[in-house]
Amino acid sequence: MNTSMEDPSANSSRRIGFYPCCCDDIEEPRRILAPFVDEILFCDLKRRTVWKQVREEPGLPTAIFVQGDVRDLIPNLPPLTVLFYRNDSSGEGGSRLHIVGKDLLPLILRRFDPAGGWIFSDGSNSGRSFQNLLSPAWHAKPSYGFKLRRVEKLSVKNHHGGSLHAIEVKPLEPGSNPP
């Protein structure tokens, strides 16, 4: 277990996932993301007791825990391969942040590896913009710098039974018109 963000230039081949507003949802995301990342940055406003209990396990991504407001941490994130976000709400106990919404998603995508990656989300706190990402056709905006599309065969079920959508993120070609 690690508790700080490391210098991303130390090993540029690292595949890094980011799970903002994670609360104590640690082990299942590590299993889901094992084929996609080597480590996951788990972020929450409050330090969680479960963070101290997480152990390294062969075949699972390393868990790195960062306490703080995700909006303040985004500019300092290393290059990301995966954004993972689920089970959040605008109600009591929820973050009230729209991580996969029109304001924060573009900021996070600016931290993505230029080669692209994945978003895994159930659409929590997303607003209407998340619906565009659920199309099997490519969706892009120049402000994102990427095109996105849902990959049906990679969608999985949450432990709560809800859908967790896999959204592929690919770079836009310079000077191209978004599809």
Range of the domain at 130: 8-171
pLDDT in tens, 83-112: 998 876 554 555 557 788 778 888 999 999
User: In which residue are the tokens 């985004």 written?
Assistant: 74
Rounded CA-CA distance 71/76 in Å is 10
Among 9-13, 15-19, 74-78, the minimum mean pLDDT is found in 9-13
For residue 179, being part of any structural domain is answered with no
Task: Give a yes or no: residue 167 inside a domain.
Answer: yes
Contact by Cβ (8 Å): 158, 122: yes
In whole angstroms, give the CA distance from residue 179 to residue 54: 42
69's tokens: 């407001």
Range name among 12-21, 122-131, 143-152, 165-174 with the lowest pLDDT average = 122-131
Please tell me the distance from the alpha carbon of residue 56 to that of residue 174, in angstroms, as a whole number.
40
Can you give the pTM of this predicted structure? 0.85
Exposure b/e, 71-95, CB count within 10 A at least 16 = b = eebbeebbbbbbbbbbbbeeeeeeb
Indicate whether 178 belongs to any domain: no
pLDDT bracket for residue 1 (50, 70, 90): very low
When divided into structural domains, the chain yields a total of 1
Is 176 among the domain residues? no
Residue 177: inside a domain: no
Residue 3 lies in a domain: no
**CATH number (domain holding residue 92):** 3.40.50.150
